[in-house]
Amino acid sequence: MGLVDSKISNGIGTITLNNPKKLNSLSKELIDDLCSALEELRQQGVRVVILRAPAGSKVFSAGHDVHELPLDGRDPLTYTDPLRLAVRTVEHFRAPVIAMVEGSVWGGACELVLSCDIIIAAEDTTFAITPAKLGVPYNLSGVQNLIVTGGTPICKEMLFTAQPFPVKRLVDAEVVNRSVPVEQLETVAQSIAEQISRNSPLVISLLKEEIRLLSTSHNLSPETFERVQSMRRQVYDSDDYREGIKAFFERRPPVFQGK
């Protein structure tokens, strides 16, 4: 897997996002490598996986690869898009995934981290959920994941402001399990992984799936779903969507006109 490193030791898998020149942005290539690494660890029967970036990373992940956001009228976040696939793969992975986070986390990478089962972060970590800044119409399952794992109040503030939030805010809101001094990050994550690896993998796998089903059971009528989809199409067909992406590449603040 070129853009991720993967290893296994004593039933504990470790996957390291490793495309620093692109700030671990979640390109299709990186997501394909991540999903392949998880599948390989599943086949080897891991009890738990730690997902991390290289030690000392200033950026854990810069989020969705903006170059891969379509500008031809296609929905940027459909069911089969890489970010959606990555989140589902983590959510459906039979064993717990521990996100061991340092540096800054951006956009869709926040949802990927929040889709993990346990989040341990260095004290100077920040999280910025940025669709409103880029003009991207975030999708229903993504918003649901954010409010289920993060809670509506802080998720609304993060989504509407699109600003970096210090991890302390997310710990206080019980979104992140623990923040620790960066020099303790690996020890704490490894210790939790070892505790999990000593327990029943069948029970843990069942518990993970029960929690997933109970926390996301939602009856959305087809008409409501279609109405939201038409709302999302208005966004990704808008000038603002193109402006958000154009401004990113021109390294200037976007000027959204609301159309």
The answer to the question of residue 60 lying near ligand YXS (CB under 6 A) is no
The answer to the question of residue 108 lying near ligand YXS (CB under 6 A) is yes
Choices 102-110, 186-194, 215-223, 234-242 (CB under 6 A): range interacting with ligand YXS:
102-110
At CA 87, angle to CA 82 and CA 90, rounded to 5?
125
CB of 75 to ligand YXS, least distance (A): 11
The residue (of 23 and 100) whose beta carbon lies closer to ligand YXS is 23
CB 190 within 8 A of CB 99: no
**Residue 45 CB: number of other CB atoms within 10 A?**
12
Of residues 98, 24, 87, the one with CA closest to residue 54: 24
Q: Locate all alpha helices (DSSP H) within the chain, ordered by sequence.
A: 28-43, 82-92, 108-114, 131-134, 140-150, 152-161, 167-172, 185-197, 201-216, 222-236, 239-249
**Radius of gyration for the alpha carbons in the chain, expressed in angstroms and rounded:** 18
CA atoms within 13 A of residue 182's CA, in its CB half-sphere: 12
The answer to the question of residue 254 lying near ligand YXS (CB under 6 A) is no
Q: Phi/psi at 114 (nearest 5 deg)? A: -70, -20
The answer to the question of residue 150 lying near ligand YXS (CB under 6 A) is no
The answer to the question of residue 42 lying near ligand YXS (CB under 6 A) is no
The residue (of 41 and 240) whose beta carbon lies closer to ligand YXS is 240
**Which residues form the catalytic set?**
64, 108, 138
The answer to the question of residue 66 lying near ligand YXS (CB under 6 A) is yes
Where do we find the tokens 């020099």?
A: 183
The answer to the question of residue 93 lying near ligand YXS (CB under 6 A) is no
Q: Phi/psi at 62 (nearest 5 deg)? A: -85, 10
Choose which of 63, 103, 150, 254 interacts with ligand YXS (CB under 6 A): 63
- The footprint of ligand YXS on residues 126-145 (CB under 6 A) is 129-131, 134, 136, 138
Choices 34-42, 125-133, 193-201, 226-234 (CB under 6 A): range interacting with ligand YXS:
125-133
Choose which of 60, 106, 127, 241 interacts with ligand YXS (CB under 6 A): 106
The answer to the question of residue 25 lying near ligand YXS (CB under 6 A) is yes
Binding site for ligand YXS (CB under 6 A): 22-23, 25, 59, 62-67, 106-108, 129-131, 134, 136, 138
